[in-house]
Amino acid sequence: MFRHFRCLGLVSLATLIASAATAAPLELSISVLDAESFELGPPAGDTRWVIEGDGDFLLAEQHGAMSSMRFDLPAGQYRVTVWELDSNAAAEQRLTLPEGGTAQAALTLSPSNKSLIAAVLARTREPEAKSDVASNDQQPDTQGTLAPLTLGLAARPGTVFAVTLPQVPDAANDRVALSDGGDGWIWSSERGSLDEMAITAPQTPGDYTVQYVQVPEMAVLQEMKVRIR
C-alpha cells in the first residue's frame, strides 16, 4: 500500500469509549517469579495484557517491561491474563470493576502458569468456518480459520473506540486511517491538534488495520489490528 513502511511500534492504547457515568479505572500491577531463585522482580522483557469482558469485549495490548498499567473501562466483570513474552511467565485473575469505583489487582507471573497463554489465545480465536467449496464423497469439506487476535482490539460492528496518537513533531497534517487490506483506505482523517482520535468500527465483520500515517512522507509510523465480529 505504501512504498515506505516504517513501524516504530504497535499502537498500545485502545480503549472503548464509555460515558463518564460508567467508565472506571482498572489498575494492574505485576511481578515475575524467578523459577530458580523463587524471588519476585519486575518484568525484564516485553509483556502482553489481555482483558476479556462481557459479550465480545476484548482488549489486547503489548508493552515493554511495564510493571503496572491502568485501563479506563466500562463497569463489569473481567478476566485479566498477563504474561512476559521471553519467559512465558503468566498469571490470570477475574475481577469486578464497579460503576464509579476503582478496581486494583496484583498478579504474580510464573513460568508454571504458561498454559494460560495457550488458553487465552484459544478463547480469542475466531471459530472455524467451512469454505464455500461444495463437498462430495471423494472430496472432504475444507475448513479455514482466522489467526488468533494476539494484539489489538476486538469489537462489535459500529462500536466507537479511541486510539492514542504518537507524539511526533509537525503532526497536524498526519492522518489516521483504517484499512481492510485492499488498495487505499476505507476511512481516514487528518490529525490536526488531536492527541486521541475516536473511530467507528465498520459494520462488516472481518480483520482491519488502524494506521498512523506521517505526511508528506506517507510512512506508516504505527498500526493496530482490529477484529470486528
CATH number (domain holding residue 43): 2.60.40.1120
Closest alpha carbon to 35 in 115, 92, 113, 105: 113
**Is residue 176 situated within a structural domain?**
no
Is the pLDDT reported for residue 110 higher than 90? yes
Tens-place pLDDT, residues 26-59: 999 999 999 888 899 999 988 889 999 887 778 8
Three cell numbers at 217?
512522507
**Is residue 56 situated within a structural domain?**
yes
Is the pLDDT reported for residue 147 higher than 50? no
3-state class of 121 per DSSP? helix
Closest alpha carbon to 62 in 125, 153, 160, 181: 153
Three cell numbers at 51?
482483558
- Yes or no: say if 168 and 174 are a contact pair by the CB < 8 Å rule: yes
What contacts 74, CB < 8 A, 6 or more positions away? 16, 18, 22, 23, 24, 53, 57, 97
**Is residue 113 situated within a structural domain?**
yes
**Is residue 199 situated within a structural domain?**
no
d(CA 46, CA 162): 23
**Is residue 136 situated within a structural domain?**
no
Three cell numbers at 4?
515506505
**Is residue 187 situated within a structural domain?**
no
Taking the whole predicted model, whether its pTM rises above 0.85 is answered as: no
State how many domains the chain has: 1
Three cell numbers at 12?
498500545
- Domain residue limits at 43: 19-123
**Is residue 104 situated within a structural domain?**
yes
C-beta neighbour count of 137 within 10 angstroms: 5
**Is residue 31 situated within a structural domain?**
yes
